[in-house]
Every structure is written in structure tokens, then in C-alpha cells.
Amino acid sequence: MKSSSFLVASILVAILAGSWAKYEPTWESLDARPLPQWYDEAKIGIFIHFGVYAVPAYTSEWFWCFWQCPDRKLQYVDDWMKAHYAPGFTYQDFAKDFTLEFFDATEWVNLFENSGAKYAVGPKRDIVGEFSDAMKKSSLHLGLYHSLFEWFNPLYLADKNNNFTTTDYPDTKGTAELYELVEAYEPELIWSDGDSGPVEYWKSREFLTWLYNDSPVKDNVVVNDRWGTDTHCSHGGFLNCHDRYNPGSEQTRKWENAMTLDRHSWGNRKTMKASDVLKPEELLETLAQTISNGGNILINVGPTKEGVIPPILQERLYQMGGWLKHNGEAIYSSKKWTFHNETNHVYYTASSTEDAIYAIFFQWPISNVLNLTHPVATVQTKMTMLGTDAKVSFQQNQDKLSVMLPNMAEVQSLKHAWTIKLTYIKSERHPNEIY
């Protein structure tokens, strides 16, 4: 009797002390936090790189560093500055031309909603207030990008000179402002970057412990894996690993493919050519491949210094949105299937209840017969093509399932990629299992 009331009292004390199910500042504890479900279901996000580098709009968002970082500078960037700007012109002098006269946060957010994306990750400064207000009025989840370091911040450079044994920069700026950002804007996603330096220096684990235990977004917030040298691809929330990470196979942890529509830059470039931009079918195939392997995709756009998203990038987002209107059932909230692809540009996903699988294909077979080697039809199997009532029949052969597609002319408007939904399918590996 005594001991059980002691137990009850201990539990009460634990609850009152707020130590119930709390996270501790160790990777073991933080990495064990389940990822809030909204993130896996959302699948598609938009990334925005927007800063003073949009004024020179040359090379990439690394412009300042390519011009002046002692170990990264490029001669041709220096030559270009000398040819076009007065001697003594500084990077800060570009700021007065970061004019934003056509920036309309609501217009951006409407475009992102129409693209079919479910979250967007934006820059942390200047326009963040307007952007978060517009985001909060939309159906999208708000994410904020935050770079821990700054290339030329004297405090950071001094700490680095001291081999990161002093912590003036994270204590007053780098990590300190993360707490402010969370309090002020309550983002559901923090996309951390610029984390060169030990995790102890950044005090990232202490920040994440606060974020998960006590912050206003503790239940829903999702973070990535850039929290200090050596955390990439191993610690934090979902894994970004490196830029444009797309491993082509499933991973043990949730991952995200952060990629760009402009193949060569995250920031706006005046020299971007039409051929530098992913074609719609390339964007959709990257999307399908990423989702089939259990990843999310974060698609980057770089607005101009006036605050305009270049029309060719807008067009790609609308094209994706148009495709998702018909095919979104195969993407949102989907799960990985036993198999992820066929050799002929076919990608598989499964419905969240796993009673249907989806085969997304990018090459229309000349004979109108699509051969699949992984799914095995049963007597109950039915097939449809998403976005159309056109008839789809099939024949199960010894070594393959032949899907008889409608005439392409019937489904022409669904261009770039088509999705076959298959129910009551077995996978060849588990011949007795009904999916």
C-alpha cells in the first residue's frame, strides 16, 4: 500500500516537474522523437532563396563569397565587378537596390498553393513577417530557413580563429536568434544551414531540446539535419544530407530532396537560360522518384530583386500543380511500396492504407501496352488511370503484368506522366500476401 502510493506520488511529482516524456540534449534522445505526421503526408514543399545576392544576380547566392572569401574567390567574379562597378563598391552597396517594389507575399503564396505544394520554406530576414502572415492565412505549412553562420561576421571569424573554443557568435547571434525566430513566427519547419563548426559550439542540441520540450511549436515542428559539422545525414529530424540529395533507394530515416528548378543556382541569376531550367517531365520524374523512395521534395525558386518569381519558374510550378490535380492521389500521404521502380521509367507508391498501389510512368509504350514486372494481379484486381474514365484492362503473364492502356489521344491532356491505380495486387516477393 505504502509503496504504491509512493509510486503515484512520484508520477505526480514527475508530471508537475514537467519532466514527463521530455527530451534531453543528447542525439540519442533527440533523434528518437517521432517526426510529426504532417510532414510525411505533405510530400512537396517550395524553397525560396531571396537576398541581396538577387541584386548582382550573377553566379549564384554565393556571389559575395565568390567575390571576396579568401579561400573561395573566383577571379572572373572580381573581374566582372571591376568592369561594371566603381572602385570601392562594397557588397553592402548592393542593398539599396534590393527594392522589392513588386513583392506581394500573397501572390507568392497563391502560386505555391496552385503548385500543389503543402509547405514553403522562406528566408529569415526582411520580408519574413509579410511572408509568414500570408502563409498563415493559406493552407500551407510555414517553414523558415536559417543560416547559423555568416561568412564575414567578425564574431564568427574570431570564434573560428579560436578553434571554436569561444562562443560569442552563437551566444549573441547565430543560435540566439533561432529562439527569437521561433517565438516571433512560430514556424512548423526549421531548415537549418551554414553550420560549419562543432555541434557543441552551436549548442544545437540545447536549442532542439528547448524546441521539442518548451517552444510554442513543440508538437508540430519539424527540423532537418544541419546542426553542426558531422550531423549531416545522421542527426536531427529528417535528413537533407547534401544539396539535391536523391539516393534512388529507400532510407532508414525520413529524408528530403532539396533541389532547384534552375539547375545551377538557388538564388536568382540574370544569366539563367531556358535550357538551365528543369523541363516539366524532368521535374515530375524527380518528384515521382523521390516520393517512391519515401522522400519529400523541396523545390527551390529564386525571386528577382524586385520580388518577382521568374515566369518560367512560375510556369513549372503551375505545370506541376496541373499534374497533381489528376495524380495527387498517388503522391500525398502515400507510402513506399515493396518495389520502387521498373527499369522503363515507372515509379511505384502505395496508398496510405496500402490497399492500392500506383504505377507512375513517363514513357508511353508504342503498342499501348505497359509491361510491369513487380505487381502480380489477382482475380480481384482492378485498374484505372487517375484523372480519366478511360478503360484500362490487363493480362497477367508468367513473367509480367501487361496493362492495356487507352489510346494516348484519349488522355493527351494528362501529359508528361500517367498513373495507373492497381487494387488487390500481390508483390512477387510475397506471393501469398494480398495488398
Ligand X SMILES: *[C@@H]1O[C@H](CO)[C@@H](O)[C@H](O)[C@H]1NC(C)=O
Give the residues lining the site for ligand X (CB under 6 A): 163, 248-249, 289, 340-341, 365, 367, 369, 371, 397, 400, 402
- Chain-centroid distance of CA 65 in Å reads 25
Which residue's CB comes closest to ligand X? 248
Residues 6+ apart with CB under 8 A from 263: 276, 277, 278
For ligand X, the closer of residues 380 and 398 by Cβ is 398
- Provide, rounded to whole angstroms, the least separation between the CB of residue 254 and ligand X: 17
Pairing relationship of beta strands 375-377 and 369-372 according to DSSP bridges: unpaired
Starting at the earlier edge strand, list the strands of the sheet with 369-372: 369-372, 401-404, 393-396
User: Of 374, 365, 349, which Cα lies nearest the Cα of 405?
Assistant: 365
For ligand X, the closer of residues 393 and 397 by Cβ is 397
- Provide, rounded to whole angstroms, the least separation between the CB of residue 27 and ligand X: 17
Residues 6+ apart with CB under 8 A from 289: 246, 248, 341, 347
For ligand X, the closer of residues 64 and 361 by Cβ is 361
CB 399 within 8 A of CB 342: no
- Provide, rounded to whole angstroms, the least separation between the CB of residue 375 and ligand X: 14
- Provide, rounded to whole angstroms, the least separation between the CB of residue 3 and ligand X: 47
CA dist., res. 124 & res. 121, Å (int): 9
- Provide, rounded to whole angstroms, the least separation between the CB of residue 247 and ligand X: 8
For ligand X, the closer of residues 157 and 184 by Cβ is 157
- Provide, rounded to whole angstroms, the least separation between the CB of residue 13 and ligand X: 39
For ligand X, the closer of residues 79 and 428 by Cβ is 428
- Chain-centroid distance of CA 400 in Å reads 35
- Chain-centroid distance of CA 333 in Å reads 15
- Provide, rounded to whole angstroms, the least separation between the CB of residue 98 and ligand X: 37
CA dist., res. 417 & res. 284, Å (int): 7
256, with CB counted inside 10 A (0-12, 13-18, 19+), is buried
For ligand X, the closer of residues 251 and 402 by Cβ is 402
CA dist., res. 369 & res. 366, Å (int): 8
For ligand X, the closer of residues 313 and 372 by Cβ is 372
Concatenate the DSSP letters of all residues of 210-265 into one string. HHHHTSTTTTT-EE-S-SSTT-TTTSSSSB--STT---SS--SS-EEEEEESBTT-
For ligand X, the closer of residues 216 and 248 by Cβ is 248
- Provide, rounded to whole angstroms, the least separation between the CB of residue 196 and ligand X: 13
